[in-house]
Every structure is written in structure tokens, then in C-alpha cells.
Structure 1
């Protein structure tokens, strides 16, 4: 069933690793909310079945927890006016720990939001300062506990591993603190250095040194082992949950379920094409409010595009990639084109092949991007077959 994504492009300050679209200036925030509401009316017919109930709503960013009670209420009023929301819908809001005061949590608890995704990143103060996070280590801990006390049980937390350090001790401590919180969902990401970020610029200047790949891989392996020991399932490379507690919204991305993205830089997918809204707040606000249009780039998906997307997304999940479906429904026959490479993955313990379903092992997940690119190499041959 379809989903709705709302990009809230504002942050208090810029994290040194982040290359998502956001602004630290709040000057356009009121007009942005007005434009977001208008965009819903403009794009209500985008999804393949506009009358199908929304099963998931996701406030991402940026920092959606910067929205006031009035702004949230206005957005939800517009959602209800333009879409039918399933009574069982998963409604997630990303939040930074420093925003989750008792007062703000009371506002969120009184809203339709029923799931919080809290960006902790670390419980180690020097690492938070290195990443230029707006919150402190004590706030990381308190935010989750206060959210639980406010009635939020469906909570996900984010952690970052592969941060430069002399040993694995800090990462071990982060994991130990995580398990004390007993949340049902964890997203864990390796620190990635993107060019247009503070870390990227410092790396280019030689003032920032990334840890060796082996160091990062060891922390990933520690993550897998300890999460399994504590009852979490890895249902996607970076996402872990207690049984039955996966993020329905994100899982639908990996399953190719249509969704509508609203706001600057938001992406949308309707099964036939993708749309990418302009990543510029003033341009977005002016186009929507003054011209009644959404400034977006449309990419029509060829059968090969759809096949490659299916391969890319499903290989990241515990469900794996159904190579027979990839061949019969999407026209990409890597069972034949890359039979030797697939056999080598299995022989090396990088993947398993069971009834034509290819799944990466823990060792394979460390090289998921490389393996996917290797399998993409079959695409030109398959397209011309």
C-alpha cells in the first residue's frame, strides 16, 4: 500500500557528515509549511491509486522535530483533507534528542505520530562534538527514556560506527548503552565521507583521517553479532528490529511500493517513473505558492532501470533477490549472464542461492555495493538479448 514522505528541510546546525538537503536558516519555515500544504493538493492524484489508503507517513529531513504544534496540526489537517489514511498507518517522525523535551514529547504524543526515529548517533561526547551534533551524550540517553515515559513504545534509534578512534572500546560502549534502552528498532550506518560536507572538505585538505576499512568492517561484524545476541533481526543491511518491528515505510521502499514525496529534494515513485523535487527552499516555495507548480525532474524508468532497481534494493534485504522474478518479470537474466560470478560468490561464502533467491551473507554484506555493481555488468547484454 502507498506511503507519504514529507521532507522538512531545516536544522539547527550542520552535522559534519551530512549531505542531505537542509537549511540552518528558519526564515522560510512558515512559508515552507504553507507550500507543503499546497503541494498536497497539487499532487494528490500522483499515486497509481489515489483512493488507496496511506499505510505509512514519514516525516524526514532535515529535522522534523523542529516543527511546532501548530505547524504539525496544519500539516495533518492537509493530509486528512487530501488523502485517506489507514487507521493502522505507521506515522514516523525523525527527531533529534535535544528537541525531545517533555513539552515537545507531549505535543508529539497528542498528534497522530505513533513512531519516533531518534538520531542518537553516539553516546560518546567527543564523537558527538566531532560530528557537530546539536545534542549532548546525556541528551542521547534522556531523549529515549523520556519518549518512552511519554507513551512512545515504537522507537527507532540511529547509531554511527566507523568513527575514527584508537580502538573499538567506544563502539562497544555505545552498543552496551543501546541495549540498556531496549528499543525495538535500530538503524546503524558506517560513517561515510561525502565530498560536499565539512568532513569531505577536511579530508581533501588532509586535516581529517578516516579509519582503515578493516577497522570499519570489524565494527560492523561486532554490530551484527551483538544485535543477534539481543534478539534483533537484520532485515536490511543497516536496519535491525525485534521480530515484527521493522520500519514499514522503509521496507516498502525496498519492495518497490509506490510513494509520494513532498517538499524540496523529496523523491517520489509511482511504479513507472521517479520524480526529484528541486533541492532549494526559496525556489520550491516560490514555484508552489506563486506559480502553482512543483519544480521537479521526472525520470521515466525503462524496463532495465526497473530491473536494476529491483536488484539493488532486494540484495540489501534479508528476503534477498528473486533471480527468477528478475528474469521473467523484469527481463534481466543474471542467472545465465552472471552464472559464473554468482557461483563464485556462493563458493566464497559471500552469498547463498536457494531456489533462485540470492541472499548475501554477513561477509557479502560488507561488499554489497561492489557485488551489486558487478551484477549490473550483465545489464547491457540482458537488454540486447
Structure 2
């Protein structure tokens, strides 16, 4: 529902589609205005908001009856950056300005400030909720059918009850984090709490809250019934066998989660530690990317960032070794390393009794490049139930 463009001055501006508003303190970042729904529901679900929003209930335009429960009314939005293309109307007060809007059947909103009375007769575009420390905005009054206000009152009661239940259920599961190494620098915990709770995406493990006392810190997450991916790959007979369909679902879901971190957030987020231990599975084995303890925000204006080495052996991208700037490509590499472990059911780095470290991805890459039988790379628990072409395709993606 928004896009970023560069104006003639060279400044970037975020523009929203019809009847949408953006607020940096909410998640998702942009939403439809009250009384409006996405025009294209399926596209909206897939992350394409370009269709904008449409009214749920048509305006009555003064035609009050028992059916529509009275004339149109106005919903106030305070401290807003006003929409473009206003029409200025001579008016001596806010009441007169409101009356002018009601008399015009095409009027969708009005504002009355130091500049006088402004009304809008077209779609409202480029609305933005300004931050609390920015007092340059004005109050915008959005025109809605009277029935929308009675609907919102009923929904307020329902949301209040449901919200209380969700909070109680969320507290049922508390992840214990012993921040032993972070006692000297407790601020490391704070970045998680600042932005992780705003992610709110299907494939991201969302933080609901936190608390701390002394050297003990608690993070509150949803309960994930099937634990982490590594518990189903590396624990032998204790592990539940993951069939090829489930593994494909996990691979695809994890990729979508990483794509969201790269493109779906206000700032690009580099996780730095993608591995099976940090992929959690719900009751249906749908994956969620978790543990953002090493993650870093990268502004959209930055292409790459220099940082100290972070991550786990067996999943580190070559950039870490040669100490060059890190980009989102490091995610792609770590994802490929995780794919090898997902399809093989073994750890990438395996130390033998002779203390010789064997790096499985090297062997796998050799088999793929030389056109060998990829079945020898697959988890023996899958037996021969994997199609050859399918296995080759997954191995090539991992490489």
C-alpha cells in the first residue's frame, strides 16, 4: 500500500495508495483507514498493496433513514500529514467547515487549521501519521457512514476480550535466556525489544515481551510445539522422521521468512546466524526464523555493512573469513548450508575420532558438479522416496 519515490529535490518520499495511512509505530507499517478494506484481498495477503483500499459502507450524503441510522459522521485522525490536492473553502469555524463537507456529496474528508478550511473530493493519498515529537501535522476528519461508528463500538468490546486472552496465552510460554556474556554490556538485549516485536510476519518468531531482574532476563514468545529443526535432524532415534514434503515446506517457509527480513521490513535485517537450531516448528511443522540475538539492522540506504564476526561454524559465509563488508548475500549462503543439513540429516562440520574435521558441503558440491548420484547425499531415513530430479534441484539450490 506504499511506495518510495525520489522527488525533484532528490529527497525520498514514501507514498501510500488510496485511503491508506503509514505509521512508524504500528505493524504492519501501512494500513487501511477506519471504515475501509483492501480492494484486492488476495493480493493484499501476498504482500501487494498497490490496489489500495475501498469503503466498506457507501456514504449516505444526507439521505438519513432508519436503515442507514442517520447522516454521515467524521472520524478524527490527529497529527497527520494531510493528503495532497486539497480544495480551500471559505469558512469561519470548524463547524462551518464540517458542514461544507457534508453538503458536498463528493467530499471524503476535511481539515480546519491555521490555513483555514480544506476539503478533499478525491481519493485520499499519501497520508502519514506523524510521530509524537513532530507537531507539524493537523487533524484530519475522515467522512464515514453512520453505521461504521456503531460497528466500531461493537468491535472494540470483542477486541478487548480477545486481546486479554491472547496476552494470557502468550505468557504460558517463557523462553529463558541466560545472558551470561552480556552482563557487562546489557544494552545488547535492547535492540531485540525495540524492533523484534514489530515484525509480526507468519515466518518470523515474534517477541511478545520481556522482563529482567539482576542478571536474569526473560523473553516471552509463542509456544512452538515441535521445537527446533535440529532436534528432528541430529538426534538419531529420538528424532521424528521428517518426510520429503515436510522438509520442502520447512525449506520454502524459511526462505520466505528471510525474504521478509530483507524486503518486508522498514529496515533490512541481517540475522547472521541462520541454522537448524534457530528454525522453530509449530504444531503443523511450519517454520519460523528465531533467535535474533546476533541480528543487525541495515538502513535501506546502505548496501553493505562492516561488523565483527558473528555466526556458527558450518554456516558462515566466506565474507566473514576474508573480513569484507557483509550483505544480505551472507543470508543466502547460510540458507544453502542449512539446506544441506536439512536434506542430509547430518551436521555440515563433523569431527571424526582422529580429530579430522569433515565439511559435508564440499563433498555434496563435488557430487552435484560431477553429475554423481545425489541419493548418497540424502538422509538415509528418506530411503529412495525422493525423485532424482527433485533431489538434484534442491542440492543445486544449496550449492
Q: TM-score, structure 1 length as denominator?
A: 0.24
Greater percentage in helix: 1
| Structure number, greater radius of gyration | 2
Higher relative contact order (CA 8 A, sep 6+): 1
